[in-house]
Amino acid sequence: MPRPRTSYSHAGVNLDQVSKSHRIVARKLAVTFQTRKGKLGRPIFPIGHYAGLVDVGNNRVLSLHTDSVGTKVLIARMMGKYDTIGIDCVAMCANDIICTGSEPISFLDYLAVSKPNPTMVASIAEGIVVGAKQAGLAVVGGETAVVPDLLSEAGIDLVGMAAGICSKGDLVLGDRIRNGDELIGVASSGIHSNGLTLARKVLLKNHPVREVIPDLERSIGEELLEPTRIYVKPVLETLKQAEVHGLAHITGGGFSKLNRIVSQAKLGADLDYMPTPPVIFRMLQSEGRIAEAEMFRTFNMGIGFVVICPEGQSAAVFRVFRRHKQGAFRIGSVQKTRGIRIFGRLVSN
């Protein structure tokens, strides 16, 4: 009898329910916009983009985003290795900030631990510093809380918040996307910080976390802890060198994330080319018997960021990412038909 297929929902994360929760919360929180109406700090865009956008006067916009490392901290705990999840924490925030065309400038972290552990905290802080330098932002404060009743023994939770700045005229929100625009995918550094709940359930069922996998040339734990690539510097340079209509960080929900960008222009996208995914994704799909569409709805599949630009601008985009030694590929184009399709299969509508 064939083994049953695995999905993110079976692992405990139902993306449809997550999206429904997001929509409900966004509607409820939107009523607070009235508190700043006509005042400094009024929101200028609905909740639901990659960052919250606030008018701070003088034609300037403050971009705000918060995110966490998620269950990647469980792999760090298993490996006793905490020096990279700080990079992930910065990346998850800074990479979203740049999706509005904003430059990340400041960062705060919130670290919750079940018991004091100065060595672990110092290791996490070192990673945050590395990530901040890569993103070109300053860490201006944070909070470390000891909450034994909230977390399991030796448990931790790591959350970040980033702020960015942009001129109103330089915002990139997706509303200028046009039919025929090209989608340029930028290579990821691996699984990044999303889909770890499913990845852990599939891989750790079959392999000890420290088992070295020949095809990976390192252990499962080391592969899963590879830090999220930070795209800030090449993206900011791209915005100066080329006409860009949309930017997307491929995180939770995989390529369905593109819908929040192209839908701003009431359009869709067809992805007709993907580079060969890194080994970790092929392992996940094979060992978990995960359907192809589910893989693209859950993981980045080797593409961590997408730049949407007019066809004539793609060469300039490629040049920038080559200078930064980051692989970039034409993976598709914007279409009139709504929804995101990968090799003709709808993954988000």
Compute the mean pLDDT over every residue in the chain, rounded to the nearest whole number. Answer: 93
Summarised one tens digit per residue, pLDDT across range 205-251 is: 999 999 999 999 999 999 999 999 999 999 999 999 999 999 999 99
Summarised one tens digit per residue, pLDDT across range 115-155 is: 999 999 999 999 999 999 999 999 999 999 999 999 986 68
pLDDT for res 169: 96
Q: How far is CA 50 from CA 95, 124, 126, 274, in A?
A: 9, 25, 26, 24
Residues 94-107: what's their mean pLDDT? 98
- Which stretch of DSSP H or E encloses residue 314? helix 314-323
Which ranges in 98-250 belong to alpha helices (H)?
118-135, 196-206, 220-224, 232-241
Q: What is the CA radius of gyration of the chain?
A: 20
pLDDT for res 29: 85
Same fold, 40-170 and 182-348: no
Summarised one tens digit per residue, pLDDT across range 274-325 is: 999 999 999 999 999 999 999 999 999 999 999 999 999 999 999 999 999 9
Q: Which CATH number fits domain 40-170: 3.30.1180.10, 3.30.1490.120, 3.30.1330.10, 3.30.70.20?
A: 3.30.1330.10
Q: Are strands 339-342 and 268-271 parallel, antiparallel or unpaired?
A: parallel
pLDDT for res 4: 52
Q: Whole-angstrom Cα distance, residue 345 to residue 340?
A: 8
**Local confidence band at 1 (pLDDT 50, 70, 90 cut-offs):** very low
pLDDT for res 89: 98
Q: Which CATH number fits domain 182-348: 3.10.129.10, 3.90.650.10, 3.40.1160.10, 3.40.50.300?
A: 3.90.650.10
Domain boundaries, the chain: 40-170, 182-348
